[in-house]
Structure 1
C-alpha cells in the first residue's frame, strides 16, 4: 500500500469516528430523562430537567358587527306634465259591500178594494257606542167582505216606532216607544135578525202607546253571568170608553255555578182596566200575575237535560197559586241525525182586553163574560203540558220534527155572540175546562240555494171536562190543520212564494136567527140561550207573491191574497176578504 493510500484511509477513519461521537453526544444531550451518562475527555456537562407545558385551546371571537349604511336623500323636484285620456263607463260589481253608516228601506204598494201599503224604516248606525232608528207602517183596505155597500167595511192599521240604543263596556241599554192605531169594522152577523140588544156601532178604533226599557250585557266568551231586564208599559184606550194600563217586568240571570249552568227568570205583570159607561159608575178590573222559574242544565254525554220548576201567583184569579215542573231531556243519536226528546211544563196564560183584541178584533167591550161571574177576563191555567217526539237533520238541507203533546187547560178562552137574539156582530169571552191531545209534524227542505219547502200538519182531539153549556164543544177550533209554503228563485232575479193554509172540522155558534133552516141545537148556559150550534165551512187560504229583483236594492212585487176566492169564515158571520190584488215596489238603502 502506498503512502497516499494509507493517509487517505486514516483520514476517512478519523472523520467517521468523529461523526459517530457527535451522533452519540447529540442523543445524550437531547435525552434529559436518562441521567446515567459517562463522558471521556474534557467536556463541560450541563444538565437540565425539562418540564412540558400544558396548552389548551381558547375560543376566539371571529365575528364582526353588522354594518349599517345610510344614504342621504337628495331632494329633487321634477315637473311632470300629466296626460289626460277619456275612458268610457265601466260597470263595477261589488260582491261584499262595505258597512254602511245607515240602513233602511221603503216599501209602497196599492191594490184593489182601495188597499194602500206603506212601510218606511231608517236606522243610524254610524257610531259604535250608540244607534237609533224609526219605523212607520200603514196598511188599509175598504170593501170585499160582504156584498152590501151600505155596511162599513174599512180596516186600517197604523204603526209608529222609534228606538235609541246606548252601548258602553259590555252593556246595552235600549229605549223604545211605539204608537199603534187600529180601526175595526164590525161588518159580520145576521143583519136581518130581529135584534133585541142595544144598537151596536158598525166600527170602532183603539190606540196603544207603549214605552219600553231594555238592559242586557253583550254576549261574551267568558263564563260570566248574563243578565237581561225588560220593563214595559202599555196604555190602551178605545172608542168604547175603555182605558187599560199594563205594566210588565221580566228579568233573567244565567251563568255557571261552579261548573253547572244555572238560570233564574222572574216575570211580573200588573193590569188595570177602566170601563166608562154613560150614566153608570165606572167598573174596573185588576190583574196581577207573578211567576218565577229556576232552572239547571246538565249534560251526560249525548244526553242533555234541563230541570226546573215554575211558580205562578195570580192575585186576582181563580187559582192564586200554581206550581208546575219544567223538565226537558234530549238524546243525540248518530251526530244529531235523530234526536228524541221529552218536555213537561205548564203555566198561566193571561187573558186581558189588549191580548183578546189580537185574537178576536170583532169584540166590543163587554160588561161581563158569558158566565155567572162579575168579571170579564179570567186567566187560562195550563196545569200540565207534556210533549214527546223526535227531531233531526237527515242532511244539511232536510230537517224534521214529529211530536205528540197533551195539554190540560182550566178556563180555556172561547168566543160566543154577545147576544143570542141580536145581530151577532160582537163577541164576548166564554170559558170551559178542556183537554187537548195533538199530533204534529214539521218538515223543512232546501233544494240547493234557490228552492225551499216548508210543511206543517196537526191533528187535534178536544175533550170538554167542565162546561156550563148543555152542548159542550170546542167552538171555532180546528181538528185538522195543514200548512205548506214554497219559495223558488229563478236566476237570482225572480223570487216566487206561495203559502197554503187548510183547516177542517170546526164547530161554531150563531145567533138564534129564525130565518136559518135545518136542524139547529140551541146552546144554553145557566138556563140562558147563548146561541145555536152550526158547523163551520172549511178554510182554504192560498196566498201567492212574485218579486222581481232589479238589483240588490230595488225590486218590484206582486201579491195575490186569497187566490182561491173562498169565504173562509174564521168566526160566524165574518167571511174573509175576497181575491185581493196588490202590487208595489221596495227600495233598500
Structure 2
C-alpha cells in the first residue's frame, strides 16, 4: 500500500511539473513510461563529538571585621524658675438682656373738650405664651353741629392671648367697645332738639378662639375659628351672632391637593321686630400645581333664609382661579366666582352709626364676578397688586334718609342686578425699621338696572364712592421720633335728592410722638388736619381740625 501511495504522489508531482512547463502528458501520444522509486528509511547522519571546556570563578575575599559601636547615655536636668503671670485669664459673664419697655400709658386733652387716655400691657420674652391688654378712651363733648348735640365718644377694652405648641398655636380674644353718637343730621331749626333725645349708645362685646398651624407643610392640616358677637343699643335693640369658620387642606400628591373652606353662623336680632337668620357656606376646591402654574377649581355653596322676594335658600356658584409665576416681580392671576356676603347689624353700625331702628337686614348676593390682575415683589422693599374686576350684585344695600325717623338712615335694597366695575392698585413698602407705607387706589363704576336688565336713569348707588385713595405711613427715627400718618380721598358720592355729587373728601390724620427719655415722651394727634368740614353721609358734616396733645410713659 505504501508503494502505491508513494507512486501516486510521484505521479501528481510529475504532472504539476509538466503543467508548469506547458506540456500536457495526457496529450503525449507516446503514453507514460514505466519507472521505479526507492525510498530508504534507515539512513543515519553521524556528527563528531564537541569539545567543551569550563573555567571556575575564584571565590571573593572575605570582608574585614567591623568593630562594634559604643553608646554613651548622659542624663541632663533642667531647672526653671516658677512662672508668675501678671495677666489674669478673662472670664466672660452672661450679657444682661436689654430692658424692654413694651408697656405704656398715655393721657392727653384736645379741643372740642376732648379727653384722651390709653394703656397697653403685655408680657415679655416668653416664647410659649404671649398676652396683651389694651384700653383706650376718647370723647368730645362738642361737635360740628349745635355743640353737645353732635358730641361723640368711644371706649375700648381688649384682651388677647396666644399659646404656641409644636404643631400650631391657640389664640383667644375678648373685647368690649362702647360707642356714643348723636343723630345730629336733623334740619336746621331755631330751637334744636335736646341732646339726650338724639343720643345713641352702642355696646359691643366679642369673643374669638382661633387655631392655626405652625406654617410647616404637612399632608393634612386645618384652621378653625369660633366667634361670638353681641351688640345692644340704648333703645333696647339687640343682636347676637355666633358661628364657626375654618378650612381643611389635604396634600394628595406632588401635583394635586384639595382645600375646603366652610363657615356657619346663626344670628338673632330683636328690635321693633325679631329676626332669626342662618348662614352656611361650603367651598370645596381642587388645586393643581405644576412648576410655576397653579389652578384651582371648585364650587361655592351657600345656604341662608333671607326673605327678599327673589332670594333662594340655596346658591351654587363656580370657583375658578389661576395664577402663573413668571418671576417674583410678576405673577398674573385670574378668578371667576360667585358669592353671598352676610350682612349684620353689627357690621352696618360700624360703617354708619346713624342707622335707624327700621333698617332691615338682608345678605348681598354676587351671582358672578371676574377678577384679572397681577401682583409681585418690588425688589426687597415692597409688594404690589393691581387689576380690574367686574360683576353683578343683587340685594345690594344703599343708605337713604329715613322718612319716619328724623336724622336717621334707612336701607334701600335693590333686588335687581347692579353692574359693578372696579379698577384697583395697591403698593406696600418697607425700609428696614425706619419706614413702612402703603398706598391703595380704587375707581368704581355702578349701573343699576330694572327688572328687565335695562339701565336706570337718575338712580344711583347712593352713598357709594366712585373714587377712593388711602395712604398709610409709619416712620421710626431711632426709637426717638415716631410718626403715623393717614391720608384719604373719597369722591363721586351721590345722595338722594341732590343734583350733584357731594364735594370730594380730603382727610389727613397725623400722630406724632417724641421720646424725651426711654420712658417719658410727648405726643400730638391731629384729625382732619386740612380743617375741611367734609360730608360723607348726607346731612352729617365732620368735625374740623381736632388736636390732642399729651404725655406718655413706658415701663
TM-score range, shorter chain: 0.7 to 0.9
Aligned residue for 2:462, secondary structure, equals: coil
Match of 1:479 among 452, 466, 473: 466
Question: CA deviation digits over 1:154-190, x for unaligned, max 9?
Answer: 2111222234555555354444332222111111231
Aligned to 1:585: 551
Moved more, 433-442 or 166-175: 166-175
Aligned to 2:290: 300
Check conservation: 2:509, 2:529, Cα contact below 8 A: yes
Change (3 A) 1:168 1:401: closer
Aligned to 1:251: 246
Match of 1:313 among 280, 303, 306: 303
Structure 2 length-normalised TM = 0.73
1:291 offset after TM fit, Å? Answer: 0.1
Aligned to 2:137: 138
Aligned to 1:360: 352
1:269 offset after TM fit, Å? Answer: 0.8
Distance (Å, rounded) in 2 between the aligned partners of 1:125 and 1:170:
23
Change (3 A) 1:327 1:588: farther
Question: CA deviation digits over 1:299-337, x for unaligned, max 9?
Answer: 22222223332111113342211222222222222x322
Structure 1 length-normalised TM = 0.69
Distance (Å, rounded) in 2 between the aligned partners of 1:152 and 1:194:
12
Check conservation: 1:346, 1:384, Cα contact below 8 A: yes
Aligned to 1:275: 271
1:480 offset after TM fit, Å? Answer: 1.9
Match of 1:322 among 312, 315, 321: 315
Distance (Å, rounded) in 2 between the aligned partners of 1:490 and 1:180:
33
Decide which structure has the larger Cα Rg and report it.
2
- The 5 A counterparts of 1:6-405 are 97=97, 103-124=102-123, 130-146=129-145, 148-149=146-147, 151-165=148-162, 170=167, 172-192=169-189, 201-220=197-216, 223-259=218-254, 260-275=256-271, 283-317=273-307, 318-333=311-326, 335-366=327-358, 369=359, 376-405=360-389
Structure 1 gaps of 5+ residues are 1-23, 28-93, 277-282, 370-375, 510-520, 522-531
Aligned to 2:86: none
Change (3 A) 1:206 1:471: same
Distance (Å, rounded) in 2 between the aligned partners of 1:143 and 1:305:
56
Check conservation: 1:216, 1:226, Cα contact below 8 A: no
**2:477 pairs with 1:544:** no
Distance (Å, rounded) in 1 between the aligned partners of 2:160 and 2:441:
38
Distance (Å, rounded) in 2 between the aligned partners of 1:508 and 1:336:
44
Question: CA deviation digits over 1:504-525, x for unaligned, max 9?
Answer: 222112xxxxxxxxxxx5xxxx
For the aligned residue pairs, the C-alpha RMSD in angstroms reads: 3.4
Distance (Å, rounded) in 2 between the aligned partners of 1:397 and 1:153:
44
Check conservation: 1:559, 1:583, Cα contact below 8 A: yes
Question: CA deviation digits over 1:2-29, x for unaligned, max 9?
Answer: xxxxxxxxxxxxxxxxxxxxxx9x99xx
Change (3 A) 1:200 1:572: farther
Aligned to 2:81: none
Check conservation: 1:219, 1:226, Cα contact below 8 A: no
1:455 offset after TM fit, Å? Answer: 2.8
Distance (Å, rounded) in 1 between the aligned partners of 2:527 and 2:161:
36
Check conservation: 2:143, 2:151, Cα contact below 8 A: no
Change (3 A) 1:286 1:542: same
Aligned to 1:18: none
1:541 offset after TM fit, Å? Answer: 0.8
Distance (Å, rounded) in 2 between the aligned partners of 1:498 and 1:363:
29
1:224 offset after TM fit, Å? Answer: 4.2
Distance (Å, rounded) in 1 between the aligned partners of 2:332 and 2:214:
33
